[in-house]
Structure formats: structure tokens, C-alpha cells
Amino acid sequence: MTRAFYIGRFQPYHNGHHSVLERIAPLVDEIVIGVGSAQLSHEVENPFTAGERLMMIAAALEEIGVPYYAVPIEDLRRNALWASHVFSMTPYFDIVYSNNPLVIRLFDEAGMQVKTLPMYRRDTLSGTEVRRRMVAGEEWRSLVPAPVAAVIDEINGVERLKQISSSD
Amino acid sequence: MTRAFYIGRFQPYHNGHHSVLERIAPLVDEIVIGVGSAQLSHEVENPFTAGERLMMIAAALEEIGVPYYAVPIEDLRRNALWASHVFSMTPYFDIVYSNNPLVIRLFDEAGMQVKTLPMYRRDTLSGTEVRRRMVAGEEWRSLVPAPVAAVIDEINGVERLKQISSSD
Amino acid sequence: MTRAFYIGRFQPYHNGHHSVLERIAPLVDEIVIGVGSAQLSHEVENPFTAGERLMMIAAALEEIGVPYYAVPIEDLRRNALWASHVFSMTPYFDIVYSNNPLVIRLFDEAGMQVKTLPMYRRDTLSGTEVRRRMVAGEEWRSLVPAPVAAVIDEINGVERLKQISSSD
Amino acid sequence: MTRAFYIGRFQPYHNGHHSVLERIAPLVDEIVIGVGSAQLSHEVENPFTAGERLMMIAAALEEIGVPYYAVPIEDLRRNALWASHVFSMTPYFDIVYSNNPLVIRLFDEAGMQVKTLPMYRRDTLSGTEVRRRMVAGEEWRSLVPAPVAAVIDEINGVERLKQISSSD
Amino acid sequence: MTRAFYIGRFQPYHNGHHSVLERIAPLVDEIVIGVGSAQLSHEVENPFTAGERLMMIAAALEEIGVPYYAVPIEDLRRNALWASHVFSMTPYFDIVYSNNPLVIRLFDEAGMQVKTLPMYRRDTLSGTEVRRRMVAGEEWRSLVPAPVAAVIDEINGVERLKQISSSD
Amino acid sequence: MTRAFYIGRFQPYHNGHHSVLERIAPLVDEIVIGVGSAQLSHEVENPFTAGERLMMIAAALEEIGVPYYAVPIEDLRRNALWASHVFSMTPYFDIVYSNNPLVIRLFDEAGMQVKTLPMYRRDTLSGTEVRRRMVAGEEWRSLVPAPVAAVIDEINGVERLKQISSSD
């Protein structure tokens, strides 16, 4: 059995994340999804709680159909301990998929096998752009899977982001 | 839709936990399972990592068949903030099931509906007894669901507990 | 009895804070004043300790004559827990006065009544401007209540700010 | 002007604390009252939040009539830093009153003048005894100043303590 | 080149520690000495600061003459991260010497070579006994290397321990 | 005996640090070298672990020949406690050498004697410039003592810095 690890902040979960997970799914038996900076929320860069992000992941992964674990990972702000921190919070995994240089380096120094994925156009999407559109009142729904948009609506996510983005 | 919250330390997951979850499952649509003291491991009272406990839960819940989220909850050591901490790390839930007086009190002060469950004989089981048997080399497999015993074997859990329980 | 909550960093307490508290005072019986980022001091943006800021508040509030509590509030860097953190450190209050979008949002999500105040000219004052003048050796005393200026003199506040603002 | 420092956990504020403060009051101009272990609450040994303890202090000090500051002090669990931590959170003070050997030692190493007070019979009172009586349903009101009892009633303090003291 | 790691709390450094280091010294080129629970001091079980313990180690190691690094290691209270924490704070080492089951386990899970040492009579010495004698006013100097006793005298260590051990 | 304190981040140890320590060495008996921001590593501004920085210091100080202690100092992010934090982690010292305004201020408020050193041309060197050259593939070895360059090579330091500096 092969279990893969993939981490993101998912602020919010968008088509770029979805595209990566769709491509990893057929290659492995199970995916462990780390929800990074789990302790942050109600910030312009991090509007959603870890729990809300777990809801988005559950909604989106139903489509993909791969068995998965979604696990909040709080920041330690000690990079040298970060891989151990991830290991302690997650089921054992065999391989890491990441295009983030620091994530790659830290798992590499910890002796893990790390693979990068070729970028698709959808991967160039960023949470920054999704949040910018939400604040600006522009169209953002096409950038996230439909079930994720439904979760964001249910939790009034856009309203929260707009409010905390307004100036004093 | 009704989503329930249930929390334990799961050191290890045993028949008492299983019995509670079996009884909650038919009453709700989804269960959020909090893995308490998530940051602790490799201690006599807390031998297993949060990730290992997630593996036990996944193995055991397959039998029950209810949709669930399993979420590590790190200790804050600030009881007044604990309910908010749980809320931030978990999907929204409507009801809490607990027989722990502090858990009941903290969710009650946070305005949540809390229900207790009548105790069955199997509920009187404690992680303490399971760990005592493991250290003593006594029979412990009958106290946990079979798939959980398989996880504990896979991670050499008994050996670890024995070693950290030996005196200097 | 009505108790109101108002929070600031008070680096230092200036006429803007004073004007807000003067307007809240006649509307309520008691005011709970939160001293935010209490753990920070000796920084260009946060030169004064929480204790020094308590001295400024005591000096200034004597003029206003409203019963009050002044309470240091350390940062948690977990917004989802912040309202509970404030609740745990302060006497119970019924209403929050704030013009800060994040403070408004967090108390609103916690179910508190929040009111904003129309801005006066004096409210547009910022601690940033007071600190800038102190560092530049410009006139700053007219921007703070006279008893606050006396506290800042007593603790040699301007000298400290100038020193930590000098470059290496 | 002389400002004195006195620290307690005030779980709850009782006649022993009151007697000490009554004797310090005539000797100094102002008292800084530290509320120790401020972050703890909802525990058998620490049932009340820092904010609730501030309410008890405010109620009790009205009788004594001395100007005071009451300041929550969170535990650092680093004794070597504790005196600096207290200094940073409180207005400047000239003298410490304490009978606690560790408090005496830490302020002494920090160069502060520390005085002990002769014990009165009322001083032998302990928070432990007050809490024991509350849990046991025994008479406890005579052990605390009447205005403190009123605060404890207002916040349903005895009920909370009883509930968290009950066994699982 | 071989570099070994050895960890203790050194409260205080005693003949047991010294005997172990004397036996490791000829086997390796350099020793990395971890000073555990570095953040604790002024406690009955942990009277000395990390800095004071570094002074004791420097005084004692002069006799042994092996090149060494002495490094304070603060507690993390997350066993799963502890080996990484040690690695991040210390020069690289090849081998660990320890008789502590938890230390052995944690380095073993981290893939390190761990060796135990046969116990000598002097090894059965414990910091507990040294501290007990200090508090009781009994003879303790024969239990520590002479240069360590000189450091303890220089810092008035026995007086501090006696004072914090006295009851309130 | 005179013991001096000097602190830097040593990311990496360069000729500027070396020049300062060479000038302090003849003035004192021992030097305590604080390794600041000890918990940080694997960041563009802080690539090396505290342990790796201890190795660089040991390599460089052999040339200078002064007795020294090198001690990792983790950030507290509470400036008012920082001097006490340093005192607790280090052997006692009599004098501080620093040109950093905040370090000077904090030790000055703690009652320590602080001296500045006239700047040499080599002192204008910064870790920022050394790291920039490493990332850019430019010549950096002339900016650090030769034994430090050897340590950086041994730990593959440049490769790590390049990798974590690459963009996602």
C-alpha cells in the first residue's frame, strides 16, 4: 500500500489544489492532506479556520473518491522540527508530493522520498487571486470546485473576508 | 443534517470508545472525533502519536460505517479557551456527546447542547487498563476492536510502550 | 448595570483614545479597558510595557471619573480564540465599542453586541504619529492628555524610544 | 509615593488575602495586586477566570479604600524570568509584601526590597479550604468578604466548581 | 572523527555524571553535552539555571580534558519532536550514550546509534540525593567534583535551594 | 576575572564577527557568545541551525584562543524579559559588547555595563551580503574565516540556502 502526503493552506481550497490531488489519486492508495497554518483564521491572508478548510476538503474529495486523511498542522515556527511535527500528527506515509522548495528540502533532510508534479495551467491559480476576487466583489466561483463554493456560502465566508479586509 | 462531536485521547482506541461511537452513529449524520492531547506521545500515559491514533480510528470506524472527521486537538492548558479551540479546528457540529464533567461544563458555558450516554459495561473500560496489560505482557487484544489491534501491531506499539515504561 | 469593553494598544495613550473613552463614559456604568499586545515593549512600534501603559491609563482616567478596569491582554496569534481569551481575562461586559473591523468581527461571531462611534477629528490621531514626533524631536505633548505626558516623562519614555529607533 | 506589590492566585479571594491587604494599605500609597496563574480556570484548584478574580478584588477593595491596580499575571514556567515578567505587566513598585519563599527569593535576586508580614489567625485560611467547603456543600461564606461572596453567587461559581469536581 | 552525545539535567553536576563522561571521553573525539530542562531553575527539583550548570560543566570537564560542547536544551513537551529539537541545537554527532529508556527510544526511532554504559557504584548517585543533603544541611561536597563544589559556593547555590525548599 | 558577553545571529559567522571577537579577546578572561534566534533555521534569512552555528564558532575561535562559552539563545518575542532570559542561559558575565541599539538598551535597563566598539571596515560586513553571494553563486569564502568555510562546506550549507531561496 502507498500513502502519499500533500500539504496546502487551502485558503480556500481551489482548482489548483484539486488538480494536484486528482493527479496524485490514481498513483497511490491513500492520501494524507495536511492543512497548514491550521491555527490561523480571520486574517486577510488566512480567512478560514482549520475546521472550515476540513469541510471544503471533504466536499471536494468526494468527487475524487480516493481514501484520504485530512489533518490540521499548526505552525511551529521551527523549520528544523517541522517534518517531525508533521510525522507526529499524521498516519505514516511513503512519499511526499510538493512543488514548494522549503517543504521539499525539509522532507528531503528527513529522509523522505519527495516528488514534484508538472504544473498545469490550473495549478498557477493561487489562493491570493481567489481572495482578491472575493474582496473585490468579482467572480470567484469558477476558481474552486462547486462543492467548495457551497461550503464557502454556507459559512458566509466571503462576507467575513470582506469585513476583515476593510480598513479601520 | 446533524453533526455530533465526541472527544477522547484514544491511548489506545478501545472497546469503550467503540461502543460509544456505535451508539451515536445511528442518531446523527456525521461524527467529528476529536483526538485529545494530540501533541503528546511516547509517554507511559500517552504512548501513541496523534497520527497513529488517527490510523486506529480509521481502522475501527470502517466497521461502523458512519461518515466522520477525525481531528487532532492539541492541549492549550487554558480551559476558558478550549471550546473555541475545538470549534476552530473542527467542522461545525450541533451536539456534543460526553460523560466527562469538564468537557460537559466547557461546552455548556459555550452554549452547546451536550448529551451524556448511559454507561454500558464495555464503557467502563479504560485506556489505563489496556496500557497496564500491554506493559505487563497480559492479554489486551480482547479490549480493542480487531482492526485497532492490527494497527498497534503494525506500529510495534506494545514494544514502544514497554520500553518507555521500563525504569532507568 | 452596563459594562462596556474598549481595547487599544496605547503606545502611547493619546487624545484619540481619550476622546473615545470620554464619549463612552456617560453611556455606561463601568468600562473594561483592554491593553492589547501586552507582551510587547521596547519595539519601535511598541515602546512601552503593559505596566507603563496601565500607568498612563490610570493617569488619564482620573479626569474622566468613570469606574474602570484596565487589563493587559497578551496576543495569542489565533484569532478564532481571541474573544474567549479576552472574556477569560476581563470582568463580564455587555457591549463592545470598537471601530476596528477585526475586533468587530471577532466579537460579533462570539455573539456580543458591538457598537461603533462616529469619528471626531481627534480620533484620527494615531500612535504612529505620536511616536514619529517623539523620535524626530518634534512637539508631541499636545497629542496626549497632560497626565499621560507626565507619566511618559517619569519613565523616560522618549529617550527609550529614540534609542531603540536608532540604527545599528 | 510608595507603591507595594502583592500577589496571590485568589481562587477565590478570601479573608486571608483581605487581612493582608488591610494591613498593607495604611503603609503605602498604592497597591499593585498581581492575579497569579491568570491563564488557569475551570480546574478544581483554579476554578475562576482571571476576569472573575478581578471582579472579586474590585468588590473587596472598595471596603479598604486604598488606590490599587489589579493585574492578571500569566504563568511563564521559567522562574528565572518571572520577576521581569511581573515588572513588565505592572506599574513600577518599590516594595514587595510576601510570605511565599519562592516569591521572596525571585524578587530578592531581582534586587527588590521584600517584606514579610506576621501571620494572623485569619491568614492561615487557604483557598484549598474554601474550595473544599464549596464542593462539600458546607458553609464557606464566612471565609470570604461579603462582597466577594456576592460576586461568586453572581457568576454561579459554586455550581461550576461542583461540576468540574465531580468524577467522570 | 567520532562525536558523542550525552544528556543530563545536572541539578547539580555530580560524580555520577562525571564517571560517565570519564568513561566516554577515551572512546570518542568530542562530546556534546546536553543540559536538559534548560528553562527550569529556582525549583526544588531544578534549583540551578542553565547558565550555572554550564559553569559547573566547564569546571568539571577541565579535569577530563576532552573537547566538548555544552548546550542548553529547553523542554518541548512533545516527545515526538524531541530528537529533532536536540539535533537542531547541537553539532552533528554519531552516537548517543544514555541509560534513560525514553532517551534511548527517541534516538532509536530517529535512527541514531545508542549505547548504554554499565553502571558503576558512583553512577547510582542521583541529583535528588545531592539536593536532599543540601537542604538538610548534611555533607554533600563528596558527591560532586571539587571544582563543581566551588561553583556552587560561588553562586550561593545551597542558600538558594534551602530558601525555595522552605515552606510558606 | 572578567567575562564578556557578545551576541549575534551568525547566519553565518563572518569576518565582521571575527574582528569583534579578536578585539574583545585581549581585554577579558572569557567570552560568552550568544547565538541569537537559535530556534530558526532553513529560512532565507536564517539558513543554519543553532548547532551548525556552534560548529562555525568552535572552528573560528580556535584561532583566537580565548576561553569561551557558546550558547544558543531562543527568541522570546518579549523584549522586557530578554535580558533575564540571556542571564538564565549563560554563565555570569560582567560586561556586554554590542553596537546594536536594542541590545544596548535592554542590558542597560537591566543594570549591566555595556561597551560599544569602534567599527572597522570588516565590521560593515553583514550576513545578508554573505547569504546574497551564496545564493547568487558569487565568491563568498573571503568574507568568512577559512575554518568556517570548511564547516559550511561540510554541512552543504550553500546548497541548502540555494534550495530554500528558489521560488515555488
Which chain E residues are closer than 8 Å to B165 by Cβ?
101
Which runs of consecutive H residues, i.e. helices, occur in chain F?
A: 15-24, 50-64, 79-89, 101-109, 127-136, 146-154, 157-165
Per-residue model confidence (pLDDT) at position D121: 67
Per-residue model confidence (pLDDT) at position B118: 80
Average pLDDT over residues F5-33: 97
Cα dist from B139 to A85, A164, B155, B165, whole Å: 32, 56, 18, 17
With H, G, I as helix, E, B as strand and everything else as coil, classify residue B140.
Answer: coil
Instruction: Report the distance separating Cα A17 and Cα A25, nearest Å.
Output: 12
pLDDT digits (tens, 9 = 90+) for C56-89: 999 999 999 999 999 999 999 999 999 999 999 9
Weakly modelled stretches of chain A, pLDDT under 70 = 121-123, 168
Q: Closest approach of chain D CAs to the CA of B155, in angstroms?
A: 31
Q: Identify the band that residue E122 occupies on the pLDDT scale cut at 50, 70 and 90.
A: low
Q: Is C108 exposed, middle or buried (0-12, 13-18, 19+ CB in 10 A)?
A: middle
Per-residue model confidence (pLDDT) at position E29: 98
Among F41, F90, F155, beta carbon nearest to E51: F90
Average pLDDT over residues E4-32: 97
pLDDT digits (tens, 9 = 90+) for C23-39: 999 999 999 999 999 99
Which chain D residues are closer than 8 Å to F81 by Cβ?
76, 81, 84-85, 88
- Is the CB of residue D70 less than 8 Å from the CB of residue D35? yes
pLDDT digits (tens, 9 = 90+) for D44-68: 999 999 999 999 999 999 999 999 9
pLDDT at B120 over 80: no
pLDDT digits (tens, 9 = 90+) for A51-74: 999 999 999 999 999 999 999 999
Neighbours of F115 (CB within 10 A): 13
Do residue C163 and residue F80 have CB atoms under 8 angstroms apart?
no
Q: Identify the band that residue B123 occupies on the pLDDT scale cut at 50, 70 and 90.
A: low
pLDDT at D122 over 70: no
Written as nine digits, the cell of D151 is: 460576586
If one compares C125 and E51, the residue with the highest pLDDT of the two is E51
**Could you say which residues from 22 to 81 on chain E have a Cβ atom under 8 Å away from some Cβ of chain D?**
39-43, 49
User: In 3-state terms, chain E is what percent helix, strand and coil (to 5)?
Assistant: 50, 15, 35
Q: Identify the band that residue C112 occupies on the pLDDT scale cut at 50, 70 and 90.
A: very high
pLDDT at E168 over 70: no
With H, G, I as helix, E, B as strand and everything else as coil, classify residue C29.
Answer: coil
Angle formed at CA A34 by CA A155 and CA A71, multiple of 5 degrees: 70
Q: Closest approach of chain C CAs to the CA of F114, in angstroms?
A: 14
Per-residue model confidence (pLDDT) at position A168: 60
Considering its fold, how many domains does chain B have in total? 1
Per-residue model confidence (pLDDT) at position A159: 97
Instruction: Report the distance separating Cα C80 and Cα B85, nearest Å.
Output: 7
Mean pLDDT score of chain F, rounded to an integer? 95
Average pLDDT over residues D28-32: 98
Strands across the sheet containing B95-97: B68-72, B30-35, B3-8, B95-97, B113-115
Cα D28 to the chain's mean position, in Å?
18
Best of C42, C46, C49 to disrupt the F interface (most F CBs within 10 Å) is: C42
Per-residue model confidence (pLDDT) at position D117: 87
pLDDT digits (tens, 9 = 90+) for F66-107: 999 999 999 999 999 999 999 999 999 999 999 999 999 999
Which chain F residues are closer than 8 Å to A77 by Cβ?
39-40
Q: Is the dihedral of CA F49, F53, F59, F65 positive or negative?
A: negative
Q: Which helix (H) or strand (E) holds D149?
A: helix D146-154
With H, G, I as helix, E, B as strand and everything else as coil, classify residue E29.
Answer: coil
Q: Identify the band that residue C122 occupies on the pLDDT scale cut at 50, 70 and 90.
A: low
Q: Identify the band that residue F168 occupies on the pLDDT scale cut at 50, 70 and 90.
A: low
> Nearest to residue A22, comparing CAs of A48, A4, A2?
A4
Q: Is F65 exposed, middle or buried (0-12, 13-18, 19+ CB in 10 A)?
A: exposed
**Residue entry with cell 541551525:** F49
Q: Identify the band that residue C142 occupies on the pLDDT scale cut at 50, 70 and 90.
A: very high
Instruction: Report the distance separating Cα D60 and Cα D145, nearest Å.
Output: 7
> Nearest to residue D100, comparing CAs of D2, D9, D14?
D9
Instruction: Report the distance separating Cα C44 and Cα C39, nearest Å.
Output: 14
pLDDT digits (tens, 9 = 90+) for F99-148: 999 999 999 999 999 999 887 766 678 999 999 999 999 999 999 999 99
pLDDT digits (tens, 9 = 90+) for E91-111: 999 999 999 999 999 999 999
If one compares D119 and B36, the residue with the highest pLDDT of the two is B36
At residue D32, φ and ψ (nearest 5 deg) are -100, 120
Among A77, A78, A101, beta carbon nearest to F168: A101
Instruction: Report the distance separating Cα B52 and Cα B29, nearest Å.
Output: 25
pLDDT at C118 over 90: no
> Nearest to residue C123, comparing CAs of C21, C36, C54, C48?
C21
State the amino acid at position F87 in one-letter form.
F
With H, G, I as helix, E, B as strand and everything else as coil, classify residue C115.
Answer: strand
**Residue entry with cell 574582528:** F19
- Give the residue numbers spanning the domain of F20: 3-165
Instruction: Report the distance separating Cα D105 and Cα D110, nearest Å.
Output: 9
Per-residue model confidence (pLDDT) at position E119: 73
State the amino acid at position C69 in one-letter form.
Y
Which chain B residues are closer than 8 Å to D43 by Cβ?
79
- Is the CB of residue E88 less than 8 Å from the CB of residue F52? no
Share of chain C above pLDDT 90, in %: 93
Neighbours of C40 (CB within 10 A): 22
Number of helices followed by number of strands (H, E) in chain B: 7, 5
CATH classification at residue B140:
3.40.50.620
Instruction: Report the distance separating Cα A51 and Cα A72, nearest Å.
Output: 8
